[in-house]
Chains A and B, each alone.
Chain A
Amino acid sequence: MPRRIVLGIRGVGHRVIESVWRLGRASHFFMLMLLKSGISMRRFHLIIREIYFTGVLSLIIIVVSGLFVGMVLGLQGYETLQKYGSESAVGTLVALSLVRELGPVVAALLFASRAGSAITAEIGLMKATEQLAAMEMMAVDPIARVVAPRFWAGVISMPFLAAMFSAVGIFGGYLVTVVLIGVDEGSFWSQMQNAVDFRYDIVNGVIKTCVFGVAVTAIAVFEGYDAPPTAEGVSGATTRTVVTSSLAILGLDFVLTAFMFRGMS
C-alpha cells in the first residue's frame, strides 16, 4: 500500500516538473521568436504568403459563421424584446453582443481550429520529415524562416477576421430583423449607433482580438515546434493546440472583459 501512495505522489511530482519545464521551454521559444522576428519583418513577402494560408483561407468559415450567428442573435433578440415592446433595440443587442464578445471570441475559436491546427500540423510535419533540421544545416534559422512569419501572419489576420465576423454578423441580424421581420430600419441603426461607442466597445473588441491572435498563434507554433517528430506526436500536438488555445481564449476573455467593461453601464 505505502508503495502505491509513494508512486502516486511521484506521478504528481513528475507531472508538475514536466509542465514547469514545458512552460519554460515555451517562454524561451517565444522570446527567441520575438528576437528573430526582425529578419522575417524585413522579408515581408514571407508573412504575406502565410497571411494567405491563415487569413484568406479562413475567410469562408468566418464569414458563413458570422452571418448565421448574427441571424440567430437577431431572431432570438427579436423574440425576447418584442414581449416588452422594444423590438427596435434588437440592433443594439446584436451589435453589442457581436462587437464586445461574440465577434472576438467565436472568431478566435474558429481561427484556432481552422488556422491554428493547420500551423501546428505543418510545423510538426516539417520537423518530423527533417525539413527543419535540413534548414538548420543550410545555415537558415527555422525559427526566423518558418516560425516567425507564421506567428506574425496569424497576429495580423486575427483582428481583420474578427472585424469581418462582427460586420457580417450585424448584417445577418439586419437581414433577419429588418428585411424579414420588418423592424423599422431607421430605429435599428440609430439605436445601435447610440449604444455602441467607438472607444469603449469597438476599440476594446479589437484589443481583445489582438490578444487572442497572439495567444492562438503562439500556442500553435510552439506546439508544432515542440511536437515529437512522429505521426502520433504531430496529431497529439494538433489536438493540444485546439484545446489549449480554446481554453486560453475563454480565460483571457474573462480577464480582459473584467478590466475593460467593469464599472461601465
Chain B
Amino acid sequence: MTSETLVEINDLNFSYDKRAILKGINMTMPRGKVIAIMGGSGCGKTTLLRLIGGSIAPSSGYVKVAGQVVHELSRDALFQMRRKMSMLFQFGALFTDLSVFDNVAFQMREHTNLPEAVIRDLVLMKLHTVGLRGAHKLMPTELSGGMARRVALARSIALDPLLIMYDEPFTGLDPISLSVIGNLIRRLTDALGMTSIVVTHDVQESLKIVDYVYFISEGVIAAHGTPAEVRDSVAPFVHQFVHGEEDGPVPFHYPANSYASDLRLGDRFA
C-alpha cells in the first residue's frame, strides 16, 4: 500500500459486560480506497464502526484517524473530527421531520455559515450526484428504501468528508437499488478521494466494488486480502462465507451444553 494511511487500528480489544467482542484487531486503511469488513451477524462489525466513530471507547488498543487517537480526544475535539467523517446508517436514518432538501442541508446549516443560496446550490448538486435532484421536496416517508439510502448517501457527503462508514448499506434492497448503491459508493470514493469502509455481509455485491476485504469472525480477523485473493481463497472460513455454506468454521449451532445434558438426562429440576 503506497498511499497515505487514513485509519489505523492497532491491537484493538473491546468487551461488553466481560464478553469479549473484538480481540486484537489490526487494520490499516489507506486514503481513497473502499474497504469491506465482512463477517457473520453479530460478529462485532458494527461495534468496530462505533469504535472508529468514537461513540464507544475500546478496552485496550487504539483507533487512529488522520493521525489522532479517537478515544483520547475531548468531546469538542471528537466533534471536530466527526466533521471529517460520516456514517451511513443501515436504514438511512433520515430525519423524518425534515424534507429531503433539509436533510441534505442539515450539516451545512449546522456547521457552516454559508448563505442560503449557496446551500441551495450545494444541496442540489449533492442530490444530483445520487440522481434524486427531482425529489428534493419530498418527505422521507414518501421515499422507497433504495431512494432513502441514496438521500442518506447525499447527506453523508454533504461536507465532503475524508471517511465514510457504511453500516450494512445493502440490507433490504432490490437488486437494482443494490447495484445503484454499490456503484455510487465506488464512484463517490473515486471522485471525492475519500475512504469508504463498508460493513456488510453481502459478499457478491461488495466484492465487485471494494479494494480490500477483511473477514471478522468471533472477534478476530479471520482473513483479509483483495477481492481476487478472496474469491480464490481456500481458507475454510473464507470459502464458507463467500459461498454461503451452512456449516463450516462458522458453526450452525450456538455454543451450548452437550445435547444430552440439555435434554435433561439428569435431576436438576426435580
Contacts and interface: CB of A to CB of B under 8 A. Distances in A.
Interface of A: 122, 125-126, 129-131, 133-141, 145
Given A129-B93, A138-B110, 17 more contacts: A122-B97, A125-B96, A129-B91, A130-B90, A130-B93, A131-B93, A131-B95, A133-B89, A134-B87, A134-B95, A137-B53, A137-B55, A137-B82, A138-B107, A139-B79, A139-B82, A140-B111
B94 interface: yes
A122 B97 CA distance: 9
B111 A139 contact: yes
Nearest to B97: A122
B82 A129 contact: no
B87 A137 contact: yes
Contact of B94 (A125, A131, A138, A140): A131
Contacts of A133: 55, 89, 93
Contacts of A122: 97
A83 B173 CA distance: 75
Interface residues of B, number: 21
A139 B96 contact: no
Interface in B185-230: none
Chain A binding surface, main DSSP class: helix
A139 B80 CA distance: 7
A133 B90 CA distance: 12
A137 B97 contact: no
Contacts of A145: 110
B102 to A, nearest CB: 11
Interface string B92-126: 01111100000000110011000000000000000
20 contacts: A122-B97, A126-B95, A129-B91, A129-B93, A130-B91, A130-B93, A131-B94, A133-B89, A133-B93, A134-B87, A137-B53, A137-B85, A137-B86, A137-B87, A138-B86, A138-B106, A138-B107, A139-B111, A140-B111, A145-B110
A126 B96 contact: yes
B93 A140 contact: no
A40 B210 CA distance: 41
B83 interface: yes
A232 B83 CA distance: 34
A212 B85 CA distance: 42
Nearest to B53: A137
Contacts of B90: 130
A240 B173 CA distance: 36
A225 to B, nearest CB: 16
A134 B107 contact: no
A136 B97 CA distance: 17
A135 B110 CA distance: 11
B259 to A, nearest CB: 30
Contacts of A139: 79-80, 82-83, 107, 110-111
Contacts of A140: 106-107, 110-111
Interface string B227-246: 00000000000000000000
A82 to B, nearest CB: 53
Interface string B62-86: 0000000000000000011011011
Residue in A126, A130, A135 whose Cβ sees the most chain B Cβ within 10 Å: A130
B119 to A, nearest CB: 15
A141 B79 CA distance: 9
Nearest to A135: B95
Given A139-B83, A140-B110, A134 B55 contact: no
